[in-house]
Amino acid sequence: MRAYLVDILAVSFFVLEWTVYALTLEHTAYGRDSLSARMHIYREVWIRRMLDREARMVDMQIMASLQNGTAFFASTSLIAVGGALALLRSTSEALSVLQALPIDISPPPALWEIKCVGLVLIFIYTFFKFAWAYRLFNYVAILLGSMPPASQRDTPQAEAHVIRTTRLFEAAGRHFNRGQRAFFFALGYLGWFVSPWILFATTAAVVIVTWRRQFASSAWQAMGS
């Protein structure tokens, strides 16, 4: 157990950072000022302005582009699952390559397989998030198609439909963001294949980069102006 203490600490740090970052972004007052949260506001703006329009072809085209992008990421995550499974099946070949390097960084076969299984689980989680986001975007498209006409925009039924559609739209965007976040952290997880110390560094790097995009990027500043 002592031989793997650094690995256990590195993985624990990885899981803790991912969990804390996600909870901070989605469930705290600080997270309500993120780029994603600011975009949630414009989802409602879009739906309300759509209610004022009789011709809504452009809105449906935008919706189709969102669905296509989500489908692309879902397909990519399935390919990543297949790649991680292939890596798991090629344990002996991968270790022989690592042993041939000038610096031997090859772990025991059991530890290598554990690392591969962890990578598979991350990509499976990613697929489920993107697949569910795609399903929710389909539901949003249905709600957009059933939007009341502009002549009824001031009715209680229209207001209820706007709120309903906005909430579902926000849920779809939230699951899409979780899928992308999993992709980012999967890149950080790859550092463990080199060394647990590298995993500490790559995890911190992912958190810094994703935090900056959400709270200090030019896009965040533009949405706040």
In tens, the pLDDT along 43-93 reads 888 888 888 888 788 888 888 899 999 999 999 999 999 999 988 887 777
- Confidence at residue 105, expressed as pLDDT on a 0 to 100 scale: 63
Half-sphere exposure of 163 (CA within 13 A, CB side): 6
pLDDT in tens, 104-155: 566 777 888 899 999 999 999 999 999 999 999 999 999 988 888 888 888 9
Residue 2 has pLDDT above 70, yes or no: no
Does this model's pTM top 0.85? My answer is yes
Within 8 A by CB and 6+ apart from 66, the residues are 137
- Res 180 pLDDT > 70: yes
Per-residue confidence (pLDDT) for residue 82, from 0 to 100: 93
| Sole residue written with tokens 């229209």 | 158
pLDDT at 104: 59
Reply yes or no on whether the pLDDT at 205 is more than 90: yes
CA-closest candidate to residue 26, choices 186, 141, 176:
176
CB atoms within 10 A of CB 174: 17
Confidence label for 224 from pLDDT (cuts 50, 70 and 90): confident
pLDDT value at residue 135: 95
So what's the pLDDT on residue 149?
A: 85
Dist CA 96 CA 104 (whole Å): 10
Per-residue pLDDT band for 24 (boundaries 50, 70, 90) equals very high
- How many residues make up the chain in this entry? 225
pLDDT digits (tens, 9 = 90+) for 5-18: 898 999 999 999 99
Instruction: Name the CA dihedral angle for 187, 75, 78, 98, rounded to a multiple of 10 degrees.
Output: -40
